[in-house]
A and B are shown apart, each in its own frame.
Chain A
């Protein structure tokens, strides 16, 4: 089932949690709502579910207006951040709940319920734990019970609020790829909320980046990572070095360095997108830490001089902190082998040239 969100606004007191949101989720897709806390992503999810009513705008399910439909009639499966399992019921009873509360005419028979619950428990690999209580399960197991419970009512939309937020790093990693496989298997339209960019980029078909109650960018993980629409997205998806510079003659200039740049975008005014060739225009230049080439000697390429102040070589990628000539801190990352061949030391003078820059005009 597709979801269409049209001009949805939600205000809590004098805090605008959602500001005229428009978004379409095509049927069968797995979409991530990504943003920092307070960006409105959880509120948007709750409005879609019908757990929160919107102040303006409408929600359409398969083109049909569902704005005023009560949460119990929307046919959504909602997985809560802290699972919200019924702790006085066994795992089996938790999963069966949604079927048991149906009006008698629509309620499946005892055996049918049993069969369906067991099938779901098998799907989430918990068939042996049906008699346990939520208090006796690990975090990852609880998460999977919550998912099975939401799936039991055969929802047309699955909504997950920070599904891996409360788990430790390793279980998180496992569950992520498991959720992706599960989605490929059952193919129900799914939306999940996360503040972890890695999680969003790894699991989702499409990522919706949010901040301050607005949508900053919608795109595939590749699009949002490599072609961020604005400064916020650039900052939010990974570390980045920022230099105040200018664009002049089609080149990005910062400090003593002038480089060609592939892409230009504006943060404020779209009409100023392409400035005249020889007119200097102030701009911010963004360079990701892994986009630096580090050389020990000048090699003719445009480069910026810097001094190594700290090296963290734990891991396959070495993180190097430097200080530029003008006194700005610079972060760079390079593969371990490359680092070894360079024989970098603290205090050493090096030359940094960017392979790729991204420019946003002020």
Chain B
């Protein structure tokens, strides 16, 4: 960082704006504190994951992933995400449509309920399903009589994952669609489009980036959910272990290289999520800047 001193010392986003410039010592020390804090809290944990995963080279890494229990954990994790993400996309779009395009009483309450799973601790979330479907749960005896297993089985894991990822798509879309209003859809209808046509040709193109954003966040959480899944899984290796649960088992058995090898896959997923997220934000900022430019230009020529 010392090499950048010249560039650093002179620049403030404000450029020549004397009245908003911090003194040099303050710029230096705050930057060092900020960078240091983020490096310590965020970068170092990432570094240790890869350092440990590859501490025995590529071979050690590959062997860890190729183990059959690891492999079945990966498959189960992908299955849980493959079910919960589409379900929550449909839900998110439907909820956002109802909330943003219509006025009705209880709307604020509905939005609060959609956000509820965020406020429920993952352990409690998992516990809800144990209370409902477990052997001593409300539906337990009924399910047992029909030989249906939900808790300590795959359906329970999927259910718990769906629960914790309910809000992601909806909460991205609701504010976005509210800010866009309903004029464009009304215009489409007035031009003779059907409701579905208006939805697919007008609404979807308008919300696609917000939708993608919600989906990747939803996906990241679905792949990484630990607490809720842990409660309903029963930890049966090779059957009901997802990747995070498998990581826990490996770590507790002091198998650090395989544990961090699995973890590194999830880190890659998380980093990819961040890349996509910032790609979308960058896009949005750029198109916004363009609009502002054009408005200013128009005003100037007028």
Contact = CB atoms under 8 A, between A and B. Distances in A.
Interface in B193-208: none
A71 interface: yes
Contacts of B16: 12, 52-53
A82 to B, nearest CB: 15
A51 B300 contact: no
B300 A50 contact: no
B106 interface: no
Interface residues of A, number: 9
Contacts of A37: 300
Nearest to B20: A51
Contacts of B300: 37-38
A132 interface: no
A311 to B, nearest CB: 25
A122 interface: no
Interface string A67-106: 0001100000000000000000000000000000000000
Interface in A38-56: 38, 50-53
Contacts of A71: 18-19
Interface in B11-39: 15-19
Nearest to A49: B19
A161 to B, nearest CB: 13
Interface string A14-54: 00000000000000000000000110000000000011110
Nearest to A10: B16
A51 B17 CA distance: 6
A358 B15 CA distance: 44
Contacts of B15: 12
A147 B18 CA distance: 21
A53 B19 CA distance: 10
A71 B19 CA distance: 7
A37 to B, nearest CB: 6
Contact of B18 (A12, A38, A52): A52
Nearest to B300: A37
A322 to B, nearest CB: 25
Nearest to B296: A37
Nearest to B16: A52
Contacts of A50: 18
A31 to B, nearest CB: 23
Contacts of A38: 300
A39 to B, nearest CB: 12
Contacts of A70: 18
A134 B193 CA distance: 47
Nearest to A43: B16
B9 to A, nearest CB: 16
Given A50-B18, A52-B17, 9 more contacts: A12-B15, A37-B300, A51-B17, A51-B18, A51-B19, A52-B16, A52-B18, A53-B16, A71-B19
Interface of B: 15-19, 300
16 contacts: A12-B15, A12-B16, A37-B300, A38-B300, A50-B18, A51-B17, A51-B18, A51-B19, A52-B16, A52-B17, A52-B18, A53-B16, A53-B18, A70-B18, A71-B18, A71-B19
Interchain residue pairs A-B with the least CB separation, the first 9: A51-B19, A71-B19, A52-B16, A71-B18, A51-B18, A53-B16, A53-B18, A37-B300, A50-B18
